[in-house]
Structure formats: structure tokens, C-alpha cells
Chains A and B, each alone.
Chain A
Amino acid sequence: GQSLEQPSEVTAVEGAIVQINCTYQTSGFYGLSWYQQHDGGAPTFLSYNALDGLEETGRFSSFLSRSDSYGYLLLQELQMKDSASYFCAVDGAGKSTFGDGTTLTVKP
């Protein structure tokens, strides 16, 4: 089976940097994805790592270490609009399994 762990809540101030960690256990692994979901909306894709290392997309970066079954999402220059839930998801065995999500609150 597949299981993921990520912190339930994170709070930070505007302009700061936040790192959301994700550890996983899985049988079969293609990659680790990150999604953002605002209240009442559907998830939107942020980043994907299939190989070890850092992927950078604007203010957001994602890191993967397959040997440690660990990844993180790094959000820089936080803005109020970044307040949302962030989910890591493991792609494997033909489907994606989501973590429970991390609620990020950005304060002024």
C-alpha cells in the first residue's frame, strides 16, 4: 500500500520562506507531486519530481530524495494568496495517493 505524512498546519508571515515536508511509504514509485487547493476549489498542480533533486518553478520549488522516501515543497516570498492547503501525492501502481494535506496560513 501507500501512505504519506505531512504536517497538518503551518503558519508564516508575508515575505517569509516555508518548507512543507512529506515522507512516504509506497510499493511502486513513479514520482512525487504537489498540489495546491484553496477553500471550495479543486486542486491545482504545482510541481512534480520523478528524480532526486530540486525542481524550481518561480517562487515554488520541490525536492525529492528517493533513498530517504522524502520530499518537500519550498515556498518563497510568501504572499497572502498562498494561504491554502497543500497536498503531496505519490504516483505509483497506476494511481496517485494523497497525503492528508498541510494548511498554510500566511499572516501579514
Chain B
Amino acid sequence: GAVVSQHPSRVICKSGTSVKIECRSLDFQATTMFWYRQFPKQSLMLMATSNEGSKATYEQGVEKDKFLINHASLTLSTLTVTSAHPEDSSFYICSAREEVDSPLHFGNGTRLTVT
């Protein structure tokens, strides 16, 4: 089955630093990848839709300059949390789909803690 790899799984960083999270589709080409954020006991909130070779589409309320998304190839998308602050601490999850009407395949998530 389709596999999405997300790295790192856990990261602790100091306030003011930047953190990069990678999301790779291992056995399929993903023209579209999605980045979600999830707070404890809450639902997955879509942050942005990442399309290969073009700028990401951000959801309302998500700061483009703070959450930089790059979709460099059909198998790789990265999310960079710039100048992280404690309120950015959350579970970040990427997902990808092979076709428009196919199910989402999720990475294992990245738990970010900003101290």
C-alpha cells in the first residue's frame, strides 16, 4: 500500500529557532500533499495544500511567512516552522493522495515542542 514517511517524529527546540519537517511519499507520486496541525483531543486542522511546482494554498488564519511550505518534487514536501514559539507546539501531520478521488495516506506525524 501507499506509504508516507514523515521526519522527524519528535523535535524539541528553543523559542525563536526554525524547524523543518519533511514528508515523502515512498512508493507513489503525490501531486498534492496536505499539512495538518492537531492539538490534544482535537480534530485535524488543515493548514495548507501543497502542489508540486507551485505555491502552497494556505487556509484562512494560517500565516504564510511563519509556516513555509515547499513542494520540491512529486515525492517530497517540507514544512518549516520559522521563529517557533511555545504556542506553535503541536502535532503536525502530512498526508498525500495519488489521485483526486483517492484516500489520504498520512505520515506518522511530528510532535513539536517549543521551549
Residues of B within 8 A of A35 (CB): 104, 106
Residues of B within 8 A of A99 (CB): 43
Once bound together, how far apart are the Cα atoms of A91 and B93, in whole Å?
17
A27 CB to nearest B CB, Å? 15
Partner of A42, one of B34, B46, B103, B108: B108
At the interface, is chain A mostly helix, strand, loop or mixed?
Answer: strand
Partner of A43, one of B32, B44, B46, B100: B44
B54 CB to nearest A CB, Å? 13
B60 CB to nearest A CB, Å? 10
Once bound together, how far apart are the Cα atoms of A30 and B32, in whole Å?
16
With A30-B100, A94-B49, A95-B34 in contact, do A42 and B43 touch (Cβ < 8 Å)? no
Q: Which of A11-19, A44-52, A64-72, A75-83 is the interface stretch?
A: A44-52
* Chain B residue at smallest Cβ distance from A30: B101
Interface residues on B, range: 10 to 19
Contact B44 A87 (CB under 8 A): yes
Residues of A within 8 A of B100 (CB): 30, 94
Once bound together, how far apart are the Cα atoms of A99 and B43, in whole Å?
7
Once bound together, how far apart are the Cα atoms of A30 and B34, in whole Å?
17
Contact B101 A98 (CB under 8 A): no
Once bound together, how far apart are the Cα atoms of A92 and B14, in whole Å?
38
Contact A31 B42 (CB under 8 A): no
24 pairs, CB–CB < 8 Å, chain A vs chain B:
A30-B100, A30-B101, A33-B103, A35-B106, A42-B6, A42-B106, A43-B93, A43-B104, A43-B106, A45-B104, A45-B105, A48-B103, A50-B101, A87-B44, A94-B49, A95-B46, A95-B49, A96-B34, A96-B46, A96-B95, A97-B46, A100-B43, A101-B42, A101-B43
Give 8 closest A-B pairs by Cβ, nearest first. Answer: A42-B109, A42-B106, A100-B43, A98-B44, A45-B103, A42-B108, A30-B101, A48-B103
